[in-house]
């Protein structure tokens, strides 16, 4: 009986010591800026759409899975400006207009760390439009991938820069014929705090 209690106590002490070695993770706050390309089949006589830039803010949690691989989940808000150019009118002129499109995105991505300061990240994103623009609805499942640089200022505080590509509405929640999809090319700048 005494051996059993002693074994359980030692296992508890060992498990507690092991659990303390596992990092709890990091909280990240970031801003992003970039441009968008509008992907769509060319239609005869239809106007064209172009992205005129976007910006965003986000918060995420990074959880280590092992010494080189992390999983990251969060929420981002972004605002895109979309430009529309009409087809050529009979008088030879064109008309131009713009609108804003806003989304809330929930990314879940893996982050592979290498060479101490570098990482690549890739994953899926669920987008939800909060303000509809001229484009087809961009709510849906998309994908994100990037490469980045991180630097730790202290054992608790770090900063990162992360150029990325994000494809919206690969699987749209509201599909349309000739679905328009945004492809973002941008850079995230952020700070991290180890918990």
CA separation, residue 182 to residues 36, 78, 158, 174, 189 (Å)? 6, 13, 31, 15, 21
Confidence of residue 20 (pLDDT cuts 50, 70, 90): very low
pLDDT band at 15 (very low <50, low <70, confident <90, very high): very low
Distance from CA of residue 115 to its chain's centroid? Answer: 23
Nearest-CA neighbor of 82 among 54, 56, 105? 54
CB contact at 8 A, 143 and 185: no
Q: Is the pLDDT of residue 43 over 80?
A: no
User: If you average pLDDT over residues 120-142, what whole number do you get?
Assistant: 93
pLDDT at 84: 83
Q: Contact, 54 vs 77, CB < 8 A?
A: no
Q: pTM for the complete prediction? A: 0.81
CA distances to 49, 64, 112, 150, 176 from 195, in Å? 44, 12, 20, 17, 44
The residue written with tokens 């980045």 in the block is 148
Q: Which residues have CB under 8 Å from 165's CB, separation 6+?
A: 144, 145, 146, 183, 184, 185
CATH label, 24-194, candidates 3.30.110.30, 2.40.160.20, 3.90.1150.10, 3.60.20.10: 2.40.160.20
Mean pLDDT of 141-153: 97
DSSP 138: -
Question: Which residue in 167, 178, 164, 105 sits closest to 142, CA to CA?
Answer: 167
Report residue 151 as tokens.
Answer: 């630097």
Average pLDDT over residues 42-59: 82
Q: If 0-12 CB within 10 Å is exposed, 13-18 middle and 19+ buried, where does residue 54 land?
A: buried
pLDDT by residue (tens digit) across 72-105?
A: 999 999 999 998 887 665 665 666 788 899 999 9
Q: How far is Cα 110 from Cα 70, in angstroms, rounded to an integer?
A: 6
Residue 125 pLDDT > 70: yes
Report which of 78, 146, 77, 141 is spatially closest to residue 110, judged by C-alpha positions. 146
Q: What is the pLDDT of residues 173-191, one digit of tens each?
A: 999 888 899 999 999 999 9
């Amino acid at each position: 009986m005494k051996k059993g209690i002693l074994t359980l106590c030692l296992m508890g002490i060992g498990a507690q010591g092991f659990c303390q070695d596992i990092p709890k993770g990091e909280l990240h706050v970031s801003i992003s800026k970039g441009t968008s390309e509008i992907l769509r089949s060319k239609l005869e006589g239809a106007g064209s759409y172009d992205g005129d830039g976007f910006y965003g803010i986000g918060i995420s949690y990074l959880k280590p899975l092992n010494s080189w691989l992390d999983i990251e989940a969060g929420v981002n808000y972004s605002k895109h400006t979309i430009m529309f150019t009409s087809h050529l009118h009979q008088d030879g002129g064109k008309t131009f207009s713009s609108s804003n499109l806003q989304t809330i995105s929930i990314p879940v991505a893996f982050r592979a760390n290498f060479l101490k300061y570098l990482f690549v990240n890739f994953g899926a994103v669920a987008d939800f439009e909060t303000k509809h623009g001229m484009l087809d609805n961009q709510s849906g499942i998309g994908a994100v991938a990037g490469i980045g640089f991180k630097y730790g200022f202290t054992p608790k505080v770090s900063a990162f820069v992360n150029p990325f590509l994000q494809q919206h509405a690969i699987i749209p929640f509201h599909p349309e014929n000739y679905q328009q999809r945004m492809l973002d090319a941008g850079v995230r700048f952020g700070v991290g705090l180890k918990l």
